[in-house]
Amino acid sequence: MAYELPALPYDYDALDPVISKSTLEFHHDKHHAGYVSKYNAAVAGTDYDSQSIEEVLKAAAKDPSQAGLFNNAAQSWNHTFYWNSMAPNGGGTPSGAIAEKIDSDFGGFDKFAEEFKQAGATQFGSGWAWLVLDGGQLKVTQSSNASNPLTEGQTPLLTIDVWEHAYYLDYQNARPAYIDVFVEKLINWEFAAKNLEEAS
């Protein structure tokens, strides 16, 4: 079924100066909108048309002839998830159940932060870094291009987009600087905690 481009969950200038208004305008209104429009054009009138976008991306991931559909489905989904993974005045350390689980599964918040930053920084080329729940265990993963943990049976809790279009206007080639400030000032821990609660 058609996927509707969601509005950003905050104003375009709400993450400034960490992520500029200009970056969010291009990223949401051009990149994300482009994936959504290509996705809707690709599913219209096909057998996939009755399925949710999550069902489509999981099915298309298994069918090499549907690589284009998968890419646009996953990129539509991934970007919505990314907008929700950030919040104005976010970042820092979480509290509650997710904090306890990070402590037990990573050996402390600092270890998680180090692993997450490393995953984003070392993803060669375009892609994503994720905090996921995998078989009851929190893990940090990285994925290339549009790839999405749902196709691996994992539950995404939060993500960072490390495609150059996510940071180039603000940080040029300094991807690690963008990732550092994402962890320090942007992570929406309430969103990640809600995803963990729903999956547990």
Does position 170 interact with Mn ion (CB under 5 A)? The reply is no
Count of C-beta atoms within a 10 Å radius of residue 119: 22
Minimum CB separation of residue 19 from Mn ion in Å reads: 12
Which whole-number Å values give the CA distances from 146 to 7, 17, 106, in the listed order? 21, 27, 26
The piece of 83-91, 123-131, 153-161, 179-187 that touches Mn ion (CB under 5 A) is 153-161
State the nearest-atom distance from the C-beta of 123 to Mn ion, in Å: 13
Q: Is 163 in the site for Mn ion (CB under 5 A)?
A: yes
As a whole number of angstroms, the distance between CA 82 and CA 187 comes to 10
Nearest residue (CB) to Mn ion, 19 versus 98? 19
Closer of 161 and 170 to Mn ion (Cβ): 161
Distance of alpha carbon 131 from alpha carbon 139, whole angstroms: 6
Listed in sequence order, the residues at least 6 apart from 135 whose beta carbon sits closer than 8 Å to its beta carbon are none
**Distance in Å, CB of 128 to Mn ion, minimum:** 9
Task: State which of residues 141, 161, 183, 187 lies at the interface with Mn ion (CB under 5 A).
Answer: 161
Cα 171 from Cα 163, distance rounded (Å): 12
Q: Which residue is nearest to Mn ion (CB)?
A: 161
Q: Which residues bind Mn ion (CB under 5 A)?
A: 161, 163
